[in-house]
A = this chain, B = another copy of it.
Amino acid sequence: MSPVSPETTSVGWIGTGVMGAAMADRLLDAGYALTAFNRSPEKVEPLVQKGAKPAASPREVAEHSDVTITMVGYPDDVRQVVLGDDGVLAGARPHSILVDMTTSSPALAVEIAAAAAERRVRSLDAPVSGGDVGAKSGALSIMCGGDQEAFNALAPLLDVLGKTIVLQGGPGAGQHTKMVNQTLIASGMIGVCEALVYASRAGLDLETVLKSVSGGAAGSWSLSNLAPRMLKNDFAPGFYVEHFLKDLGLALAEADRMRLCLPGLALAKQLYNAVAAAGGERDGTQVLVRVVADLNGQPWGTNGG
């Protein structure tokens, strides 16, 4: 397969939420001809203003595209958008490429790869990490699984979207790698929140504590980037709790399927369930500190940050 390019490759984009819209926008800026679909059509408008063509269904997107990219919400959405009657595979041209960038089930990625192959469509699962900031700046980590030739051909396009782009293996390997990523974040967040609540209870000044612990063996991205927001009671979403809960659920379901015992991951899910129960689904993941503080009879913001 020859590499994609703005001159020769038509791209379809399905799913224009916060992440999808920012990523599709970068492809338009890079010069790709884009056909776009979203369940709520008004969310496609800003892309259409910049030259994208709107389509009436995922199927119609795929009929016009050499490469079709999906970035939707939940695995059920992926299933419908890709495998449904009006889905991508119903319209996809032979020898086209399908890329699902939704964080979704590894098993579904395998199923989609098989269905795509039957129609002579190559497929990749390619979930991302890096949030809306990374989506806007093209600095995402893109974790890929699937067809090596398709991955190679897509390199120029993925370079527009991400900075760290790695093929992890066959179908589902990208999704599995995203689960690894979220497993790391999950226990790390517990540590950050427990550490801050301990520090607060012990009467320490939290900003001063961060000076001692952020630069050494206890350091992490979460500690450097999210703990300061916790101290300012800034719970605005970089990454939504409801999306993290989805990811933790997917990771635990895969763990169950593989008969894995991951008590830290399970604990994180329980604590984020408590965040949701307290109404925090639309907050950023750093709001976990409130639940850990509440658990300790010490409302955050009084002794906290």
Contact = CB atoms under 8 A, between A and B. Distances in A.
Given A176-B199, A191-B186, A194-B183, A164 B215 contact: yes
B212 A221 contact: no
A258 B187 contact: no
Interface size class of A (residues with CB under 8 A): 35 or more
- Which secondary structure dominates where chain A touches chain B? helix
Instruction: Give the number of copies in the complex.
Output: 2
A106 interface: yes
A213 B168 contact: no
A264 B166 contact: no
A278 interface: no
Contacts of A191: 183-188, 191, 264
A6 to B, nearest CB: 26
Interface string A253-268: 0110011111111010
A219 interface: yes
Contacts of A198: 176, 179-180, 183, 251, 254-255, 258, 260, 262
B183 A216 contact: no
Given A141-B213, A169-B203, A177-B213, A218 B185 contact: yes
Contacts of A254: 198, 202
A50 interface: no
B180 A213 contact: yes
